[in-house]
Structures are given as structure tokens and as C-alpha cells.
Amino acid sequence: MSYGNHVQLKVYKEQEQAVVPVSYEELEAAAKEKLEASPYYYVAASAGAEVTAKSNQEAFNQWKIVPRMLRDTTNRDLSVELFGQTLPYPVLCAPVGVQSIVHPEGEIASARAAASVGVPFISSTASTHSLEKVAAAGEDGLKWFQLYWSSDREIAASMVKRAENAGYRAIVVTLDTPMMGWREKDIENAYLPFLMGQGIGNYLEDPVFCSRLAKPPQEDLIGAVTQWSQVFGNPGLTWEDLQFIRMQTSLPILLKGILHPEDAKLAIEYGMDGIIVSNHGGRQVDGAISAIEALPEICEVVNGEIPVLMDSGIRRGADIIKAVALGAKAVLVGRPYIYGLALAGDAGVKQVLRNLIADLDLTLALSGRTSVRELDKSLLRKM
């Protein structure tokens, strides 16, 4: 029996204990059914008319896979090298804050599930649980830390130091969210999780953040939340400021939220180690270019100098194949694993990730390829 059939059998077997739907659309519908409206829409909705969010998925359809035949795909290798580490698959869990709004265990469950599948977990600054607890839950799995660069740079420095001490292996600096985008559903629902003290747990355990408070958070949560809202974002940042973060750590630094090729060039110029092409899942600038449309031009200017990753709209194996063929080293997944978490905690996250990886593996083989490293534009036609 070929390896392909073996993968299929395993997936079919797992369905006997299915805890989440297999299709992304049904997964989202099931999460909608289960969650209260406000947290559901906080996750699912995007900025403005959601044109960018929709095009993140639709733009993948402009690219068609043209499979090759008779190429012995018995043995396949999905692994990729990044910053001296081998990832078993070109897939990471995107940083997602406030995960306790969908499940009490939040990031703890997600990090545990990701580690068990071999998928690196990127922990958000805005996590419900402290970055130390998330790191412990992720056990020996690979972890990166995502930094929201506070307007108080000593807080940013403290977060980076804590992450380094807790065993995170890279810092992802998110650039596209110095403030929240125009998210109509959240405005209608008057819902911002962190304003209710949800999701600032990681800040509340930061010694520098706490030193800025007049009273300890246990005595004055409102005061802590007010302070958080003042320091969360920093619209004043410029390229020159990146030097400050560089001086805090020897870990690789990636910039997340790059969409313009000129910014990709600047990232290299300013000594960054990687970039993540992303429009934040359409949650920030409605009308922005979709991530998969932005990717080829960016990979062209980067020309292999630093790794380019991408996120926003990855839903199935074929999406990953297309992103990698267009030059991404790996992709990040956001909402799919959050819906898995909402429905079934760590078991849900695990199943969503395993399904995605099995789909990737089968689609690779059926396209006539044996390694994600051999994927290039020759696999695709633009229609």
C-alpha cells in the first residue's frame, strides 16, 4: 500500500473520533453556533466591508495548480529549514491574542496542541495567559514570540527579555496594528475583549508594565486596563526604532504585516531576519491587497536574502502549496485553529492542524511533487 493511502487511512480513522468538522466553512459555522455573538464576531469579522478578508481567500483561485504525472511520489518530505531549525511542515500557528474569549484554556490549550503536532506556536503579546505559562504548555515544541511594540519602549524591551528567558526562538514584530482597524461588528456589539480585562494577562505579569500602575491590578483592574489602552500601540514608530529591539536580543527578528515591496527592501536594509507578508486577516485596512497577491512581487525583490512567510486566508492544503510555490518559506494559520479551540479545546486545535497537514501532503503528492522545497511557479498558472 502506498504512503498516500496510509495518510488517508489515518485521517479516515481519526474521523471516528472527530471533534470538529473537516471543511473550513462548516468549522466556522459550528463555532458560530457554539459561541456568543460578540466573541464569535471578534474572531470571524474583519475591517470595513470585509472586501480584503474575502479577497484573501478568493485571490488564491486566480492561481491554478497544474499537476504532473508519473513522478514517483511514494516518499515525501514536508519539512523546511528556518533559522537553523527544521520545521516538519511549512505551517505555524499565527499569533492570536485574547484566546480565552473562545475557550477558558485559551493559548495554553493551543500551544499544547501545536507542540503535539509539531507546529511552531507564535505567542501574542496580547495573550490571556503569560508568555511564560504559554511556553510551559508548549513543552518542547518550537515557540516564537509576537511583539506588540508598546508606546513605552521599556515594556517592549521587558517582553522581549522575558520571551528570550522563557525559551522563545524568534521575535515577530507586528507592524500593522498600532491601533485597531474599523471593525464594524465589534463596534455594533460594543465589544473589545481587553477593555473588560480579558486578554491582558500577559501584561499584568510584566514587571515593567506593573511598575507603571498606581495600584496593583488585583486592587484596580480598571486602572490597569486604562494603562494598557495607553501603552498598547505605538503609531509613532519608524524604521529607525527597529535598532532598539535589535539591541535587546540576539534572536532572529521578523516583521509581520509587510505588503509593499519597498517595505520588504527596507526590512533587509534595516537588518531584519525575515518578513511575514500579511494583512492581518483583513482586520486592519479594508481595501488592502490580499496577501497572496502581494507575495510574488515581494519574493522577487527579497530574492532569497531573508525568508518570506505569509498569512491571511490559508484554509486548505492547496492554499499552502500555492503560497510556497509563489515563494513563501512557510505559512501561518489564524482563524482555522481558533475555531478548533472554540469547539473542542486542545483536541480541536490538534485536529484542525492535522487535517490541514494531511490535505497538504496529499495535494503535494497528487500534484506530482515529493518535497515542499521543490515547489516553484512551474506548478502554477495564473488565470
Ligand X SMILES: Cc1cc2nc3c(=O)[nH]c(=O)nc-3n(C[C@H](O)[C@H](O)[C@H](O)COP(=O)(O)O)c2cc1C
Contacting positions for ligand X (CB under 6 A)? 42-43, 56, 94-97, 124, 126, 146, 174, 256, 278, 280-281, 311-314, 333-335
278 burial (CB, 10 Å; 0-12 / 13-18 / 19+) is buried
Can you read off the three cell numbers belonging to residue 67?
A: 499537476
Measured between alpha carbons, how far is 255 from 246 in angstroms, rounded to an integer? Answer: 12
Angle between helices 3-14 and 335-366 (to 10 degrees): 150
Q: Residue 314 binds which entry of ligand X, ligand 173, none, with Cβ cut-offs from 5 to 8 Å by kind?
A: ligand X
Torsion angle (degrees, nearest 10) of CA 203, 206, 207, 211: -10
On whether the CB atoms of residues 164 and 251 are closer than 8 A, the answer is: yes
Q: Residue 311 binds which entry of ligand X, ligand 173, none, with Cβ cut-offs from 5 to 8 Å by kind?
A: ligand X
Torsion angle (degrees, nearest 10) of CA 249, 211, 207, 150: -40
State which of residues 283, 315, 316, 350 lies at the interface with ligand 173 (CB under 6 A).
283
Instruction: Give φ, ψ of 83 to 5 degrees.
Output: 50, 45
State which of residues 48, 199, 296, 345 lies at the interface with ligand 173 (CB under 6 A).
199
> Which is closer to ligand X, CB of 275 or CB of 365?
275
Can you read off the three cell numbers belonging to residue 32?
A: 458560530
Strands 274-277 and 380-382, by their bridges, are unpaired
Q: Binding residue per annotation — 68? A: no
Least spacing, CB of residue 367 vs ligand 173, in Å: 33
Least spacing, CB of residue 164 vs ligand 173, in Å: 22
Q: Which residue is nearest to ligand 173 (CB)?
A: 97
Q: Is the dihedral of CA 254, 260, 262, 263 positive or negative?
A: negative
Active-site positions read 280
Q: Binding residue per annotation — 256? A: yes
Residue type, 291: A
CA 121 to chain centre: 8
Q: Binding residue per annotation — 41? A: no
> Which is closer to ligand 173, CB of 112 or CB of 280?
280
Q: Does 46 bind ligand 173 (CB under 6 A)?
A: no
> Which is closer to ligand X, CB of 87 or CB of 147?
147
Least spacing, CB of residue 354 vs ligand 173, in Å: 25
Q: Does 177 bind ligand 173 (CB under 6 A)?
A: yes
Q: Does 348 bind ligand 173 (CB under 6 A)?
A: no
Ordered alpha helix ranges (H), 85-152: 106-117, 131-137
- Residue list for the binding site: 42, 95-97, 124, 146, 148, 174, 183, 256, 278, 280, 283, 311-315, 334-335
Binding site for ligand 173 (CB under 6 A): 97-98, 126, 177, 194, 199, 280, 283
- Residue list for the binding site for glyoxylate: 42, 148, 183, 280, 283
